Amino acid sequence: MGMTGIDGRLRARLLRRAKRDQWIRTAAPRRVPPHYAVLWLWIDRRNAAWLRRVVRGRGWPGRSMAGEDGAQAAWLIAQHADRSPEAQRMFLDALRGAVASGEADPADLARLEDRVRVNAGRPQLYGTQYGMTETGYGPHPVEDPERLDERRAAVGLPPQAEYDAEIRRLAAEEP
């Protein structure tokens, strides 16, 4: 399979960082030692700082630069850059441009848009972000809920009821 124009080194680094991101998120809940929380924070901060340098220097690592899986890995790192809010907002802007030029997935942009809004204390647009709310576990507040499924469909996300059932099923399975 020829990956013309793809920067193999950048792609490999993105995939390695995304793998570490996922490893700490699956390892930490099963292990109690406090150093896992510190390691988690360290991984997220380092990933965000590294991606910020990439984006500043080369723009968003989209499909033609990093491959489909590399572009997905870049989004994952951006999505988990919660403790670097200014970098996360920069990633959101860069990802908007990448989606507009067909270099990234509109559903990923929707998820990052929601994440940035929730982190800023604003209502989300696509209903992708869940957590503990005043009424228990569920989606964080949504702007214009009457048009939620319409917005979700426009970016390729399933209807909210379907997504909600899946999120709750996955949450119930967590250890």
| Residue-wise pLDDT tens digits, 64-106 | 999 999 999 999 999 999 999 999 999 999 999 999 999 999 9
Quick check: is 92 in a domain?
no
Residue 77 sits in the same domain as residue 109: no
CA distances from 85 to 25, 49, 118 (A): 20, 11, 11
Residue 14 sits in the same domain as residue 49: yes
Residue 113 sits in the same domain as residue 173: yes
Quick check: is 2 in a domain?
no
DSSP labels, 142-170 = BSSGGGHHHHHHHTTPPPHHHHHHHHHHH
Q: What is the pLDDT of residues 131-168, one digit of tens each?
A: 988 888 999 999 999 999 999 999 999 999 999 999 98
Domain that holds residue 160: 105-175
Q: How many domains, in total, are found in the chain?
A: 2
Quick check: is 77 in a domain?
yes
Do 126 and 88 touch, CB atoms closer than 8 A? no
Instruction: Give percent of the chain above pLDDT 70.
Output: 93
How buried is 71 (Cβ within 10 angstroms: 0-12 exposed, 13-18 middle, 19+ buried)?
Answer: buried
Residue 122 sits in the same domain as residue 157: yes
Residue 115 sits in the same domain as residue 165: yes
pLDDT at 121: 95
Quick check: is 86 in a domain?
no
Quick check: is 97 in a domain?
no
90-99 as b/e, with b when 16 or more CB fall inside 10 Å?
bbbebbbebb
Alpha carbon distance, N-terminus to C-terminus of the chain: 39
